[in-house]
Amino acid sequence: MTAAPLVPEIRIDERAPAADVRAFFERDRLLAAYALADLDPENVDTARWWVARRGGDVVAAALLVEVLPFRPCFAMGEAEALAEVFRVVRKPRLVVSFPPHGRIAVEQAYRLERADVMQRMTVDRDRFVPRADHPLTRLGPEHQADLVELYGEASRAHFTAERLAREIYFAVYDGGRIAAAAGTHVRSRQAGVAAVGNVLTRLAYRGRGMATAVTSAVTAAALAEHRDVVLNVRRDNAAATRVYERLGYRTHATFIEGPAVRRAPWERITNIWRRQ
């Protein structure tokens, strides 16, 4: 009888080249779309990442955007490797996103305050079905005040002139006021992906197809410059899912997302014990 070969141990690399992280995330580029955009040259200085290697192979990675106050962190890879990654992240609070199979691994180090089950939906030029049932306005830096009035004063820090010049936003106006709007969260020409979000219609205007119209306009403009467009929607939000499906979006994957708090050392020990 011969002994089974030893499986190489997992090693955490906190100084991996950005190219290694990008190559790993490209294995599921639609799920990792936001992280790929954060690795673009103009954004890479604002991100930090951890890579798990087994032998010479990358088997998991996590990317954190440190400059944003809510600390978004995306991770994917083997469950055992994800557990090792989050053991060394050591940030007190995160908003973490990861595939469902990684939940036990993440929760060894972090307690999820809320765990939303999300769908990553995608569309490309072949599937896209445009719908433009309302007059639309492409927004720019000069529309900053109108967007802040729609989304609330807390959004002022987000809707900077620089962001509005860089991202894609469309709106339906009524009487000089935005009735509905949508835009891109991030986009990457290098990766060929754009992420649609911030879809909002004022209560008085709902049910008129405005959300469909602005989402369609943003999607069309994004597909003119990017190969794939993605968006996130809660799995239980059937109404929004139907809107996106009418535009040609299809569900690519399910993932977990939510605010998370670093477990105290004693809590991590007892949490591991309970799962044995």
CATH number of the CATH domain containing 79: 3.40.630
Residue 76 has pLDDT above 60, yes or no: yes
Half-sphere CA count of 29, side-chain side, radius 13 A = 17
pLDDT band at residue 263 under the 50/70/90 scheme: very high
* pLDDT score of 143: 96
**Is residue 213 scored above 70 in pLDDT?**
yes
Residue 5 domain-assigned (yes or no): no
Residue 2 belongs to a domain: no
- One domain, residues 236 and 134: yes
Kindly state whether residues 218 and 165 are assigned to the same domain.
Answer: yes
- How many alpha carbons lie under 13 Å from residue 135 in its C-beta half-sphere? 5
| Separation CA 94–CA 77 (nearest Å) | 18
Is 169 within the bounds of a domain? yes
Mean pLDDT of 154-178: 92
CATH number, position 203: 3.40.630.30
What pTM was estimated for this model as a whole? 0.89
User: Is residue 83 domain-shared with residue 156, that is, in the same domain?
Assistant: no
Residue with tokens 């977990």: 256
HSE of 240, CA atoms in CB hemisphere, 13 A: 18
Task: Return the structure tokens found at 112.
Answer: 């999820």
Is residue 4 over pLDDT 60? no
pLDDT of residue 112: 96
pLDDT in tens, 22-52: 999 999 999 999 999 999 887 777 889 999 9
Same domain, 229 and 261: no
Type of residue numbered 5: P
> 102 with 152, same domain?
no
Answer whether residue 113 is part of any domain. yes
Please report whether residue 201 resides in a domain: yes
Q: Which of the two residues, 82 and 44, has the higher pLDDT score? A: 82
Pair 73, 159 in one domain: no
Enclosing H/E stretch for 36: helix 33-38
| Overall average pLDDT of the 89-97 stretch | 95
Residue 97 pLDDT level (bands cut at 50, 70, 90): very high
**Secondary structure string (H, E, C) spanning 69-102:** CCCEEEEEECHHHHHHHHHHHCCCEEEEEECHHH
- The mean per-residue pLDDT over the stretch 235-246 comes to 93
Residue 61 binned pLDDT confidence (cut-offs 50, 70, 90)? very high
Task: Let me know whether 132 and 222 are in one domain.
Answer: yes
Domain identity same for 90 and 155: no
Find where tokens 């807390």 sit. Answer: 154
pLDDT of residue 273: 46
Note whether 73 and 156 are same-domain residues. Answer: no
132 and 244: one domain?
Answer: yes
135 & 84 share domain: no
Average pLDDT of the segment spanning 247-259 = 97
The per-residue pLDDT of the chain, averaged, comes to: 91
Amino acid present at 200? L
Instruction: Supply φ then ψ for residue 13, to 5 degrees.
Output: -115, 110
Q: What percent of the chain has pLDDT over 90?
A: 80
Lowest average pLDDT, out of 23-27, 183-187, 211-215, 267-271, goes to 267-271
In a domain, 3, yes or no: no
Q: Which domain holds residue 90?
A: 10-118+256-275
State how many domains the chain has.
2
Residues 161 and 103 in one domain: no
Residues contacting 153, CB < 8 A, separation 6+: none
Poorest-confidence range of 5-14, 140-149, 218-227, 235-244?
A: 5-14
